[in-house]
A and B are shown apart, each in its own frame.
Chain A
Amino acid sequence: MKIIVRGAALALLTSVALPASAAECIAPANPGGGWDFTCRQIGRIMTELELVPNMVQVTNLAGAGGGVAYAQVVSKRSDDPELFVAASSATTTRLAQDAFAGATADQVRWVGSIGGDPGVIVVAKDSPIQGLNDLVEAVKADPGSVAFAGGSAVGGFDHLKVLMLLGDAGVEDMRKIKYIGMDGGADAITQTVGGFAQAMTGDMSEITGFIRSGDVRPIAVLSEERVAGFDDVPTAKEQGVDTVAMNWRGIYVPKDISDEDYQRWVDHLTAVGQSEQWQTVMAENGLEPYLVTGAEFQSFVDENIAEIQELSREIGLLK
């Protein structure tokens, strides 16, 4: 019995410390989050499409909202051609706000985005706010009367969505907009349904269950077009505010790999993005197609960072 016990413990320990094999994806968070999801799904489909010889090894390297992984890729593995790292809007947001201890976006190569989770603003079902214009009017009349709850800290992407939206709608003073950062989207919904906050800002996929159960009412989705399955939710654009805020899911690779290797990852990601398997994954997880790769994605990242830096300066997060 004793031997079995120790054997089991040993097996458990060794299974944690398997050596890395061919292609590797770093998920800069613990198992289960969005980045882990990106790594595991992209990795699985790459293997199924036989783009890579073996299983893609997923390494979880959590810390500092992706900062620990970023620092390690930049400083230690800058020429590893078999490595790619999961990223999302949160990565560029933190890079823009200099939250990665001085690291900058040009220290890696951005491969592309493969899907996006559109931003959405919801209110409790019994809220007097009926549409985006009501919300904007309420904020303009008295910014203190509308508190937004979101799943990220102040300055995080959920907060920035509100700022982008209200900025585009003509609200002048960003500092007056009330925002409370909760521990995740579901927490923020609870606070909104409970009436402690007046509106909630989050990603579409976080909220679908609550929209369908009728606990909350979506007033605007921040995508180019209406989201399939939620055809009665109007976009912000239709309501006269041209704001698109996608929480994109994508990958970056180390900077010092050859151009051929970079192009190989771009091709792989494009193949995954166009595969049937990925369409299924997106449909099941409330993601929208958002395939932007290569040079086009590089410039998207640069613009995105510039915009976030401007907003962050306005709310005093950046000097």
Chain B
Amino acid sequence: MDILSNLAMGLSIALSPYTLVLAIVGCFVGTIIGALPGLGPSNGVALLIPISFSLGLDAISALVLLTSVYYGAMYGGRISSILLNIPGDEPAMMTTLDGYPMARQGMAGEALVVSGVASFVGAFLATVGLMVFAPYLARVAYQFGPAEYFALYMLAFCTLGGIGSSNQAKAALAAAIGLAIAMIGLDKTTGMPRFTFGELHLMDGVDFLVAIVGLFAVAEIFHFIESHGRDSAIGVKLGKILVPWKMLRQTSGAMLRGSGIGFIAGVLPGAGASLGSFLAYMGEKSAASDKDSFGRGNPRGVAAPEAGNNAAAGGALVPMLTLGVPGSGTTAVLLALLLTLNITPGPLLFTERPEVVWSLIASLLVANVVLLLMNVPMVKVFVKILSVPAWVLLPGVTMIAFVGIYSLTGSSFDMLMMVGFGVLGYVMRKLDIPTVPVILGILLGNSMEDNLRRAMVLSDGDWTYLFSSPIALGLWIAAIMGFVAPIFLRRFLKKPPLPATDPTLNED
């Protein structure tokens, strides 16, 4: 009952007409920020911090505004993933895999509704999880040392091969490219710069947002120019939007499983929303009987990652609030906001500042409901923004991509690098190499390497340390199963027919 009375207190603070208006504005702005390629939840929130200061908002109002933007951006990322094949932000990347094929088959409306509901389910369950379990879950982080984290990333990498539906070797090649890019920058274990060639801008490594916008948005623009707009992603028609109840029922299992996986990934500091949506997608795919339909517009392939990334966004708040450890880029920015409001997250936050915690939770719930209402019946409004003629949209996307990347660090170097990634993405598309594993390589490679190196420092180079705890062992077994099992299973099952060239994916 404690929880309910606390929640009532939180709602009473967070539900004044003024904060409600802030929540609606935040959700709206957040959805747009999320939908625009290059502007993701972390720079969206970062951009709004100074604005909320200049508006003179008090702590609670600022929190309501920024969490609404945060959740809004998590919802919005899927819109451009589905309609343009350009992920609006990094966690929405997995949604392109099935969402865009669905849109090509004339089911854009269904994909948007399913993913919107999945986002709600994921975010809602995660908020409930945060409410009920946060104090206990904080302890989970203490169980994860370098060896355990390394095994967790290994698990993610072992399932990577399954991502490209046709050619696993190409997926592995792409992941290797990503890993190589991840090596650029300052090496934490020796303090030495690697592959920076004396260039200061490379010291911090390659920002994965630069890579995503380049590989997806800029490459799409190149492709559009080459094909004069034929077969391009731009200009998907959107029919009347009806709520596809049957499809929602079919995907409800995927949403629940995705939420569960995503929440756990979110709770672990350092894993974050992208890993959450990735594992949710791969989990759903490996559990499905119709694996081949994934990557070609399976609604479950939209529901699982969307539920996963939104649940991870909620889960990431657990270590942020209870330990002060940000689980993702966005929670890092929210943490910074709390610190500037003189609220120090840590083990005592729940007992010392309950009004802050519970109004934050209440505002998450409010934002969620607002977003569901905004994203399902009103999805056309957002789609309208993206469905203007190509000659308007493309320069717009290009401009926003450049502005978004420039706003990251304020340097033109990143913009040049983004164009470089665009060329790489274009070439890879010509060679039919998937680009998603490149991003995952960049995203996970650094943490995987850092944790391996830390483990080696701690154990004086004894590699058995990597298998020294039950959690690590369990993760290793899961990783090996994920990698080896498909090879054997294939032998038992009938030799699958060669995947017919998919007209929606390989027409170039």
Interface residues of A (CB under 8 A from B): 1-2, 5-6, 8-9, 12-13, 15-16, 30-33, 36-37, 40, 58-65, 67-68, 71, 97, 99-101, 144, 147, 153-156, 159, 178-184, 186-187, 189-191, 193-197, 206, 208-210, 212-213, 215, 284-285, 317
Known pairs A194-B144, A209-B324, A213-B346 / 5 extra A-B pairs, C-beta < 8 Å: A8-B32, A32-B49, A153-B188, A186-B323, A208-B346
User: Could you give, for residues 120-161 of chain B, a 1 whenever the CB lies within 8 Å of some chain A CB and a 0 otherwise?
Assistant: 000000000000000000000111111000000000000000
Partner among B32, B141, B193 whose Cβ is within 8 Å of the Cβ of A190: B141
Q: Is B347 within 8 A of A210, CB to CB? A: yes
Residues from chain A with a CB closer than 8 A to the CB of B282 are: none
Partner among B189, B198, B204 whose Cβ is within 8 Å of the Cβ of A181: B189
Instruction: Give chain B's interface secondary structure class.
Output: helix
Residues from chain B with a CB closer than 8 A to the CB of A183 are: 270
Q: A32-B340, A190-B325, A213-B346 are in contact. Are A317 and B191 (CB under 8 A)?
A: yes
Residues from chain A with a CB closer than 8 A to the CB of B408 are: 62
Q: Is A184 within 8 A of B325, CB to CB? A: yes
- Taking the nearest CB of chain B, how far is it from the CB of A277, in angstroms? 13
Counting from the closest, the 6 A-B pairs by CB-CB distance are A32-B336, A209-B346, A155-B191, A196-B145, A64-B203, A213-B347
Q: Is B142 within 8 A of A190, CB to CB? A: yes
Q: Is A16 within 8 A of B385, CB to CB? A: no
Q: A32-B340, A60-B410, A187-B325 are in contact. Are A193 and B457 (CB under 8 A)?
A: no
Closest residue to A182 on the B side, CB-wise?
B454
- Taking the nearest CB of chain A, how far is it from the CB of B172, in angstroms? 28
Residues from chain B with a CB closer than 8 A to the CB of A197 are: 458
Q: Is B190 an interface residue (CB 8 A)?
A: yes
Which bucket holds chain B's interface residue count?
Answer: 35 or more
Interface residues of B in 6-48 (CB under 8 A from A): 28-29, 32-33, 36, 46-47
Partner among B29, B201, B384 whose Cβ is within 8 Å of the Cβ of A2: B384
Residues from chain A with a CB closer than 8 A to the CB of B51 are: 15
Q: A31-B336, A191-B145 are in contact. Are A62 and B409 (CB under 8 A)?
A: yes
Closest residue to A36 on the B side, CB-wise?
B336
Q: A64-B201, A153-B188 are in contact. Are A32 and B332 (CB under 8 A)?
A: yes
A97 to B200: give the CA distance in the assembly, Å.
Answer: 14
Closest residue to A97 on the B side, CB-wise?
B191
Q: Is A101 within 8 A of B198, CB to CB? A: yes
Q: Is B186 an interface residue (CB 8 A)?
A: yes
Partner among A5, A61, A64 whose Cβ is within 8 Å of the Cβ of B381: A5
A297 to B344: give the CA distance in the assembly, Å.
Answer: 30
Q: Is A16 within 8 A of B403, CB to CB? A: yes
Q: Is B269 an interface residue (CB 8 A)?
A: yes
Q: A8-B29, A99-B193, A210-B347 are in contact. Are A179 and B145 (CB under 8 A)?
A: no
Q: A31-B333, A68-B201, A190-B323 are in contact. Are A180 and B410 (CB under 8 A)?
A: no
Interface residues of B in 279-334 (CB under 8 A from A): 323-326, 332-333
